[in-house]
Amino acid sequence: MDYGKFKYESAQKARESRRNQQQTVIKEQKLRPKIDPHDYETKKGHVSRFLNQGHKVKVTIMFRGREQSRPELGFRLLQRLADDVSDLGFIEANPKQDGRNMIMVLAPHKTNKTKSKANAS
């Protein structure tokens, strides 16, 4: 077999396998610990829309100044958000402090992905 032909065929196979891969999209939603109830509802709506579309959501709580001494406020807020959208997704990465921010990742349930693809068609 010709080496050039072998290289070409292996490149074709690699290109074909890349075409069939699913791209994971991570959306991000940023909150503050002292968020207003209406603002929380708006952000929760964005998170639920992202999960319905089959995307993962990275929820970030930004602490400023003295808020950093009360990380339990951010933890409670993330838990509340996770409970509110539990029918759409689950916690993929538990809340953890990362410098001034607290981060949690939510992933959609498997059934949501098939529903969102059916709705898109």
Domain boundaries, the chain: 24-115
* Residue 120 confidence (pLDDT): 59
* Residue 118 confidence (pLDDT): 58
How far, rounded to the nearest angstrom, does the alpha carbon of residue 110 sit from its chain's CA centroid?
A: 14
* Residue 44 confidence (pLDDT): 93
* Residue 112 confidence (pLDDT): 53
**C-beta of residue 103 within 8 angstroms of C-beta of residue 58:** yes
- H-type alpha helices, the chain: 3-19, 37-52, 71-84, 110-120
One of 3.30.110.10, 3.40.630.40, 3.40.50.2000, 3.30.1330.10 is the CATH number of 24-115, namely 3.30.110.10
* Residue 119 confidence (pLDDT): 62
* Residue 116 confidence (pLDDT): 54
Strands 56-62 and 26-31: parallel
Distances (CA, A) of 25 to 49, 74, 116: 13, 24, 14
**Full-prediction pTM beyond 0.75?**
no
Q: How far apart are CA 49 and CA 63, in angstroms?
A: 25
Q: If the chain, 121 residues long, is cut into consecutive pieces of 10 residues, what is the mean pLDDT of each piece?
A: 89 87 84 93 94 92 91 92 90 90 91 57 52
